[in-house]
Amino acid sequence: MKQHIALALIGPMLYLQGRRVRQRTPQLPEPQGARIGTTGQGAALRLLIVGDSAAAGVGVADQQQALSGQLVAALAADHTVSWQLLARSGDTSAQLLDALADAPAQVVDVVVVSIGVNDVTALTSRRRWRANLRALVALLEGRFGRPLVVLTPVPPMHRFPALPQPLRWWLGLRAQALNRDMRRLADAHAAVSCVPIDYPADTQFMATDGFHPGARAYALWARHLARAITAPR
pLDDT at residue 179 is higher than 80:
yes
Sign of the CA dihedral with 183 first, then 187, 193, and 197 last: positive
- Mind giving me the DSSP string for 25-76? S--PPPPBS-SEEEEESSEEEEEEEEESHHHHTTTSSBTTTSHHHHHHHHHT
Q: Return the higher-pLDDT residue of 16 and 65.
A: 65
Domain CATH for 71:
3.40.50.1110
Cβ atoms of 200 and 152 closer than 8 Å: no
Structural domain containing residue 97: 35-230
Q: How much is the pLDDT for 208?
A: 94
Q: Report yes or no on 167 lying in a domain.
A: yes
Q: How much is the pLDDT for 5?
A: 57
Would you mind telling me the total number of residues written for the chain in this entry?
A: 233
Sign of the CA dihedral with 230 first, then 38, 212, and 89 last: negative
Report the DSSP beta bridge partners of residue 206. 213
Number of domains in the chain: 1
Report the DSSP beta bridge partners of residue 81. 39, 45
Q: Report yes or no on 5 lying in a domain.
A: no
Cβ atoms of 131 and 117 closer than 8 Å: no
pLDDT tens figures, 126-153: 999 999 999 999 999 999 999 999 999 9
Q: Report yes or no on 8 lying in a domain.
A: no
Q: Which of 60, 117, 52 is nearest to 85 (CA)?
A: 52
Secondary structure (3-state) at 152: strand
pLDDT tens figures, 68-126: 999 999 999 999 999 999 999 999 999 999 999 999 999 999 999 999 999 999 999 99
- Rounded to whole angstroms, the Cα distance separating 182 from 185 reads 5
Q: Report yes or no on 185 lying in a domain.
A: yes
Task: For residues 53-60, give the mean pLDDT.
Answer: 98
Q: Report yes or no on 206 lying in a domain.
A: yes
- Rounded to whole angstroms, the Cα distance separating 222 from 217 reads 8
Cβ atoms of 152 and 117 closer than 8 Å: no
